[in-house]
Structure 1
Amino acid sequence: MKRGVALFLWLALALAAPLPELYDRLESALGQVRIEAQNQALPALEQAQSLLRQEGEVLPPVLRDAALLNLQEARQALLRKSRADLEARLLLVRHLLGKALLDGFLSGTGEERAALLGRLARATGLPQPLVQEARSLPPEGARRLLEAHYLQAMAEDLGRSLSAASRPEAYLALARAYARYLVIQDSPQSTLKAQDFVQALAKVSGGEPFRAEVAALREKTLAWRKGLQPSPKPQAQAPTPTPSSPLSSPTQAPPPAPPSTPISPPPSPVQTAPAVETFYVASWASPELASQIRSVAYALGYNYVFEFLADLDRIAQTVGLASSALGRGDTESARAHLASGLFIFQKNAEPILSLVNPDLSEMVRKGFTTLYQAPGARVIDTFVLYDAIQELARQFQEGPRSTPWLNFQLFLLNLAGIPRATFFLVAAALAFFPLYLVRLTFGGRNVYWNLLALAFLLLFLPILAEGLSYFGAIMADYGNLPWLAALNNLSIGQGLLPYLSWGLSVFLVVVLATAGLRGIAAQFGLLKERGAEVAPTAERLPSTTLTSETIVEWDEEF
């Protein structure tokens, strides 16, 4: 009991670890990742993933899940010995942490603020003079200063990508620009979208022409940086009109007016027309709700409804891939697919679906998070999540409706992990006591009693296998014994083979119990042979003489 309380307190302290300490430990692990030493790099990546899973509560879920996904991709790049991809993934992980560090720095005070700024400088490569200047500025001034630095560095990285002599070099420079963008992606002056970077990176890695997309990103970056200093220009233009020439000013005023009027109207139709005219919302939605859905969809980059539905299919596909990975016992790949699905859902789908059915969309997000973190997730768990995603897509097209059975299944899905593992482990442990009593009761020399005991054993076998599978899952996740994850395949909820094995054990229970009980009934004279006549009672009266030869044990054969 004391050991369990101590473990609980240790876990609570670990989860409450501050962000600077988490960054230090992650950076220590990531610093050991080198493509030349895979034997050292793979355990370091596993350590970084464990840190994020167990102590990443201080990070926003979106950042933590994205970092875990990139760590999984870094592992694959390490196995492929792709230097550019490995470096790009580590850059993204560090800058995702940099985003959390920047937010903490802007909202922090005192020594905590200085500590966060120091880690931000290490994570994103800020020069020391800039760090000292940002430390002395108020939050808004520091934000604009750091944002301008990141934008300048992004423009330089995009320029290097355009002039790169090889695709790996262009890919790495573009990934570095994308990583810097992630730090300042929530800026109110932002003119870029993460999707633009992802599409450009896909073209670079896929061997397609990419320079037009990178050039457009660079132009938007420069325009964003230029828009950070709009204040000096109006002040410089304000004193220019002088009242000294009242007669000439009317003749000079009309020329500036015409250019200002055509510049302002175009943005409104350009922004609203695609969203209103092309993003179709079904007739079940009221005009106000339809307009709200369209505006959110346009802000997310969806000009057509089929683009949004395609992303929903991508989310469902990640759940299917996770189900396949769980079926073959590959929990790491399953978690990577679930993290990818959760990231896409939170980033692109939930803002729209929460307008359609906020309760169901929230339960789906919680289901993703639960399955991602749960030790001993089962294939049947992913079916519930897949059905919920399909139901959300159906409600988006047909309107919200009540789904009590699906809601109940999603509620049960939240019990996956430690609560469900504890239940089955306790049930498996308690099953040994009735098995012990069965051994005492039916463990004699009578073959029929032994058959009955064997039937009881097979009856309890599924719960023992389920408890053993959860024991392996917990030891693999928390005991640093990944090879025990193979015990997950003993669970009935994993696939066809365990299910058929359970059916075979039930069949054997029926056969053995029938044989044993029939033999016992025959021994006690409860069964009569066919065609045999029942003798009169008087003729079958037992002898009253008792000898030692007529005394037998109750569990022996007569």
Structure 2
Amino acid sequence: MRRGLVLPFALVLSLALAAGLTELYDGLEAALGQVRLENPAQAVNALNRAQSLLREEGALPPVLRDAALTNLQEARQFVAQKSAVDLEARLLLVRHLVGKALYDAFLQAQGEEKAALGQRLARATGLPPALVAQARSAPPEEARRLLEARYLQAMAEDLGQALAAQSRPQAYLALARAYARYLIVQDSPQSRLKAQDFVQALALVSTGQPFRPEVQRLLGQVQAWRQDLLRLQTDQAPSPTEAAPPPTPAPASQPQASPPRPGSVGALFTGGLPEGLEEELSFLALEPETKTRLGEALQALGYGSVLDWLAVADEVRGALALAQLYVESGHFAQARAQLDYAHSRFRLKLLPVAEAYAPGVAKRTDLLFQRLREAVGLRTLDITVLLGELQELEERLLGNTLGPWHALQVQVELLLLGIPRSVFFILAAVLSFFPLYLVRITFGGRNVYWNLLGLGFFFLFLPILAEGLSYMGSILAEYGGLPALGALANLSVAQSLLAYWGWGLSVFLVVALAGAGLRGIAAQFGLLREREPEASRRETTPTLTSETIVEWDEEF
């Protein structure tokens, strides 16, 4: 009975997931089709719609979703920079990341569901419709080998185009196409490659280094992979999950590096570091083992120089500066977009290198990035602290540090950023109404000097009220669906220059009003009589009558 219930439930669940994938791709295809450099505003809006589709719960597996969102965020930057090649490469990767989900679902689907998935898979990854129709009628394992062989053939063609390219942009785009196709079949038991191999080759192209030997090596691996697959099809061998064939030895002219250990960067390389990179590392005040790890990490990401890595750090700083500007002007959506882009670049291009020489600071910076991206009530000072963390990484590279004060600020930021800080200031603002009420009933009489003193107390509490109101506006803008209230963030001292000067003016008014009020009260009580001229003093004995009795808060 239980099994009879489980099978229909699994069938319904698979149908729902397949329907969600087809709808997702249809919406994504329509959105990406409107991304053109000729109309940047339309392109940005289309990318926003694509990101919204991918963020829907359960639309894609988390790994594929996060990778696609990162590429869409980078595509926004390339729209602003009007870089056609980079934009096309990112959109290609997004389509094939969704294509990976379509491919996996297609191999498991049945009937009309499989037909719908096959149509989207052909459009997403450029498969011939006739080949997809042939795969539909084949058993799952045979269909996998058939489609995988076609992807490998296309990868070989792309790598050949990269080798024959007359310019680096052409080579980069061809290599990006090969990488995108690899993402579809990366889980194959016959796979001889890793994603890092393509990332390293793309880095060589983009940094102006010789890339053809690496592309030639990739081409050889793809061809050997395809030969293994065709041999399996010819021999009708059992499923690779049951008995995987031994890999074909690499040609003698292209020695194959031993497979790297998990988590080992240095194992990706068979030779030493380039001479220029070794010379740069020799000037750094680091331990020899740390220099070795640093050099291997730089080489793994395709950096030919430490200066190239520092240039990427400057790029991340530029994105954070834009985020800070958007926060200051109240455009929080754009600010978070810049933060997302900066974090993705940091994780992809900076974090692996920083972990080689300052792992503690690198992890702390990554955590601060995450907290800022999720925090409510973002302020410009928060991004200033994050910029300081990036500078701390650079200082550690040079053997220096920003000191314990910066580290303390980071720890406080990590502890109180977001909801805790917002609740703290909102609570302080609410509680300040009680002393203001007491001030009103205490100093609200007819005595001018007492009134001045009460007014001074009001201006003393005014910055607290403004700060609490600013965080209330931020919360309602982000979680309450009232984006117009985000402008209240400009009341915060940590946000706006005008608020800072307003706080300074309120302090000045507190000093002036309290001084005037207290001086008048002191004069009324005779505490300043000794400063009067001697001739004006009169020795009189006051007589208390009903006419001379006054209230304590009245002027006398």
- Given the alignment of the two structures, is residue 524 of structure 1 paired with residue 525 of structure 2, yes or no? yes
Give the AA of the match of 2:495.
Q
Give the alignment partner of residue 70 of structure 2, picking from 28, 48, 66. Answer: 66
Q: Which residue of 1 aligns with 2:554?
A: 556
Q: Which residue of 1 aligns with 2:333?
A: 332
SS in 2 for 1:272: coil
**In structure 2, do the counterparts of structure 1 residues 332 and 21 end up closer, same or farther at CA, with 3 Å as the change threshold?**
same
1:119-147 CA-partner distances (Å, limit 9, x unpaired): 99486577655875898349xx95x7766
Contact 2:179 2:198 in 1 (8 A): no
> Aligned equivalents of 2:219 and 2:297: distance in 1?
26
> Aligned equivalents of 1:185 and 1:29: distance in 2?
23
**In structure 2, do the counterparts of structure 1 residues 50 and 391 end up closer, same or farther at CA, with 3 Å as the change threshold?**
same
**In structure 2, do the counterparts of structure 1 residues 364 and 62 end up closer, same or farther at CA, with 3 Å as the change threshold?**
farther
1:363-413 CA-partner distances (Å, limit 9, x unpaired): 1011112212223221111221112112212222328x7954333222222
Give the AA of the match of 1:278.
L
Q: Which residue of 1 aligns with 2:344?
A: 343
Contact 2:257 2:268 in 1 (8 A): yes
> Aligned equivalents of 1:397 and 1:386: distance in 2?
17
Q: Which residue of 1 aligns with 2:4?
A: none
Q: Which residue of 2 aligns with 1:272?
A: 271
**In structure 2, do the counterparts of structure 1 residues 424 and 25 end up closer, same or farther at CA, with 3 Å as the change threshold?**
farther
Give the alignment partner of residue 225 of structure 2, picking from 225, 228, 250. Answer: 228
Tell me whether 355-364 or 224-233 shows the greater mean CA deviation: 224-233
List alignment gaps of at least 5 residues for structure 2.
Answer: 1-16, 233-249, 259-266
Where in structure 2 are the equivalents of 1:441-456 lying within 5 Å?
Answer: 441-456=442-457
Give the AA of the match of 1:228.
W
Give the alignment partner of residue 193 of structure 1, picking from 184, 194, 198. Answer: 198
1:173-202 CA-partner distances (Å, limit 9, x unpaired): 997666555656797514853476589799
Where in structure 2 are the equivalents of 1:64-213 lying within 5 Å?
Answer: 66-67=70-71, 69-70=73-74, 72-73=76-77, 92-97=93-98, 101=101, 121=121, 128-129=132-133, 132=136, 136-137=140-141, 148-153=149-154, 179-180=180-181, 189-190=193-194, 193-194=198-199
Where in structure 2 are the equivalents of 1:501-520 lying within 5 Å?
Answer: 501-520=502-521
Where in structure 2 are the equivalents of 1:299-338 lying within 5 Å?
Answer: 299-338=300-339
> Aligned equivalents of 2:226 and 2:330: distance in 1?
55
Alpha-carbon deviation of 1:226?
Answer: 1.4
SS in 1 for 2:445: coil
Where in structure 2 are the equivalents of 1:264-413 lying within 5 Å?
Answer: 264=255, 272-275=271-274, 278-279=277-278, 280-282=280-282, 284-398=285-399, 404-413=404-413
Alpha-carbon deviation of 1:275?
Answer: 4.0
Contact 1:65 1:343 in 2 (8 A): no
Tell me whether 486-495 or 43-52 shows the greater mean CA deviation: 43-52
**In structure 2, do the counterparts of structure 1 residues 274 and 172 end up closer, same or farther at CA, with 3 Å as the change threshold?**
closer
List alignment gaps of at least 5 residues for structure 1.
Answer: 1-17, 204-211, 236-258
Alpha-carbon deviation of 1:158?
Answer: 8.4
Q: Which residue of 1 aligns with 2:263?
A: none
Give the AA of the match of 1:370.
R
**In structure 2, do the counterparts of structure 1 residues 388 and 185 end up closer, same or farther at CA, with 3 Å as the change threshold?**
farther
Contact 1:322 1:335 in 2 (8 A): yes
Q: Which residue of 2 aligns with 1:467?
A: 468
> Aligned equivalents of 1:519 and 1:274: distance in 2?
79
Alpha-carbon deviation of 1:349?
Answer: 1.7
SS in 2 for 1:501: helix
1:32-89 CA-partner distances (Å, limit 9, x unpaired): 6757999999877656656767969973496265156147459869xx9x99998876
Give the AA of the match of 1:443.
G
> Aligned equivalents of 1:434 and 1:27: distance in 2?
60
> Aligned equivalents of 1:451 and 1:260: distance in 2?
92
Q: Which residue of 2 aligns with 1:434?
A: 435
SS in 2 for 1:555: coil
> Aligned equivalents of 1:454 and 1:446: distance in 2?
12
Q: Which residue of 2 aligns with 1:493?
A: 494
SS in 2 for 1:193: helix
1:310-331 CA-partner distances (Å, limit 9, x unpaired): 2222222322232233233332
**In structure 2, do the counterparts of structure 1 residues 364 and 199 end up closer, same or farther at CA, with 3 Å as the change threshold?**
same
Percent identical across equivalent pairs?
42
1:403-461 CA-partner distances (Å, limit 9, x unpaired): 54333222222232222222222222222232222222222333222222222222222
Tell me whether 171-180 or 281-290 shows the greater mean CA deviation: 171-180
Alpha-carbon deviation of 1:153?
Answer: 4.8
Give the AA of the match of 2:436.
L
1:440-487 CA-partner distances (Å, limit 9, x unpaired): 222233322222222222222222222222223223322333333222
**In structure 2, do the counterparts of structure 1 residues 546 and 201 end up closer, same or farther at CA, with 3 Å as the change threshold?**
same
> Aligned equivalents of 2:18 and 2:421: distance in 1?
31
Give the AA of the match of 1:347.
L
1:94-133 CA-partner distances (Å, limit 9, x unpaired): 544556x489979x9999xx99x95994865776558758
> Aligned equivalents of 2:227 and 2:146: distance in 1?
14
Alpha-carbon deviation of 1:491?
Answer: 1.6
SS in 2 for 1:281: helix
RMSD (Å) for aligned C-alpha atoms: 5.3
Tell me whether 52-61 or 311-320 shows the greater mean CA deviation: 52-61
> Aligned equivalents of 1:163 and 1:358: distance in 2?
41
**In structure 2, do the counterparts of structure 1 residues 171 and 500 end up closer, same or farther at CA, with 3 Å as the change threshold?**
same
Contact 1:327 1:379 in 2 (8 A): yes
Contact 1:472 1:486 in 2 (8 A): yes
SS in 2 for 1:227: helix
> Aligned equivalents of 1:320 and 1:134: distance in 2?
55
**In structure 2, do the counterparts of structure 1 residues 176 and 556 end up closer, same or farther at CA, with 3 Å as the change threshold?**
farther
> Aligned equivalents of 1:403 and 1:146: distance in 2?
57
> Aligned equivalents of 1:368 and 1:485: distance in 2?
22
**In structure 2, do the counterparts of structure 1 residues 19 and 469 end up closer, same or farther at CA, with 3 Å as the change threshold?**
farther
Contact 1:374 1:418 in 2 (8 A): yes
Tell me whether 344-353 or 185-194 shows the greater mean CA deviation: 185-194
Tell me whether 463-472 or 19-28 shows the greater mean CA deviation: 19-28
1:481-516 CA-partner distances (Å, limit 9, x unpaired): 333322222221124332222111111111111112
Contact 1:375 1:418 in 2 (8 A): yes
How high is the TM-score relative to the length of structure 1?
A: 0.68
Give the AA of the match of 1:272.
G
